[in-house]
Amino acid sequence: MNSETCRKQFALDNLARLDLKTVKNHNLAVKQFIESTGKPIEEISKQDISYWIAGLEEKGCKPLTIRGKVKGVKMFFKYCLKEGFISADPASEIRLQAVKENPPSYLTIEEISQLRKLVDERLPVERAIIEVLYATGMRISELLSIKKEDINWSERTIRIPQGQQMKGRVVLFTQECESHLKAYLESRTDDSPYLIANSRRKSGPMDISSIGTLFKTYSEKLGFRVTPHTLRYTFAATLAQKGVPIESIQYLLGHKNLQTTNYA
């Protein structure tokens, strides 16, 4: 069986037990590695893998990125050995390097104040985005999927119908968030069902690249880095400082694993 067929079979078989994003990442890593060697899989050696890893380091790939790619390649060769495509696993002695990640940063009260002051001078939609992210800790992908019907104004809650891992949840929002959300919604002239609408495509939600551009502008003007995830971490840190149980923060963030919440 040739390398390309093995790679495709590896991806298909993994779809039954891994999420789609992980399968795509592993498949891409295997494809990049095999193309870099120019060899059929049965001729690939441990040295070929070591050279490839060294090449990734020379290109400036981040340690966490390299670890992810190496993990995909190791899984691929383990799979090939199990299926009988190869007689020996060249990646069996390749070790995954431990990666020490920097803890996520969060904004101080003063930095939040500066951010709010900045967006106060911009479009109502921008202040609404900032307040929802800061008040709820939701992911930007979740915010862009929310529709106006998901908001319960009387209880000041937002229903996130499909978060990560396909689990829905309900989150609270503040009076200040309510005020800016209503101001934004009242300023709109479209009939889009989405909470955060696309100003160009009247029926759809704002696209994530536009959000990225906004936050890049904020970072440049403020002199410190701010991203949607920064606000998510700030939300979690604020709750933790107030003594909210970690299990409650885990639910509000939509984390499946409690360890992920501890890290945030």
Q: In angstroms, what CA-CA distances link 26 with 15, 33, 164, 260, 263?
A: 11, 11, 19, 22, 24
Amino acid at 46: K
CA 20 to chain centroid: 14
- The predicted model scores a pTM of 0.59
The rounded distance, in Å, linking the Cα atoms of 162 and 164 is 7
The predicted pLDDT at position 209 comes to 84
- To the nearest whole number, what is the mean pLDDT of the chain? 87
Q: Is residue 188 in some structural domain?
A: yes
The predicted pLDDT at position 223 comes to 94
Domain count, the chain: 2
162 and 247 in a common domain: yes
Answer whether residue 31 shows pLDDT above 70. yes
Q: Where are the alpha helices (DSSP H) in 149-191?
A: 175-187
Conformation bin of residue 190: beta by default, left when phi > 0, alpha when psi is -120 to 50: beta
The predicted pLDDT at position 115 comes to 97
CATH of the domain at 68: 1.10.150.130
Q: In angstroms, what CA-CA distances link 34 with 79, 147, 261?
A: 15, 44, 36
Joined tokens for residue 2:
């040739």
From 20-34, 144-158, 242-256, the region with the lowest mean pLDDT: 242-256
The predicted pLDDT at position 55 comes to 87
Q: Is residue 132 in some structural domain?
A: yes
Q: Is residue 122 in some structural domain?
A: yes
- Residue 12 belongs to what domain range? 3-83
The predicted-structure confidence for 93-143, as pLDDT tens digits, reads as follows 998 887 766 666 789 999 999 999 999 999 999 999 999 999 999 988 889
